[in-house]
Amino acid sequence: MNQYRLDRYEGSYAILVEDSEFQNELYVLKERLIGFVKPGDCLEIEFDTIGNLKHVAIISTPDKMEKA
C-alpha cells in the first residue's frame, strides 16, 4: 500500500502528495474522496493492476495529530 496526504481539492481533482522523500503529486478524481477525506488527512491507498483506486483508508487526520 502507498501512503499519501490529501493536499487540496482543485477543480475536479484531489491532489495527493506521496509520503516519501520525493513528495510526488498524484491527481485523482475528487468524487472518489470528497465524501470522507479532508485536506491534511493521511491516506493508505491500494491500486489495482491498471492504476484505479482499489482501497482507500484514512490512517490519520490533522485533528488526531494535534491531540497526540
Other Cβ atoms less than 10 A from the Cβ of 62: the count is: 13
**2-67 is classed CATH 2.40.50:** yes
Query: pLDDT by residue for the chain (68 residues), tens digit each?
Result: 899 999 999 999 999 999 888 999 999 999 999 999 999 999 999 999 999 999 999 998 887 555 55
CA distance 9 to 5: 12
Residues β-bridged to residue 15: 8, 27
Residue 68 pLDDT: 52
Amino acid at 67: K
- The answer to whether 3 and 18 are in contact (CB under 8 A) is yes
Report yes or no on whether pTM surpasses 0.85. no
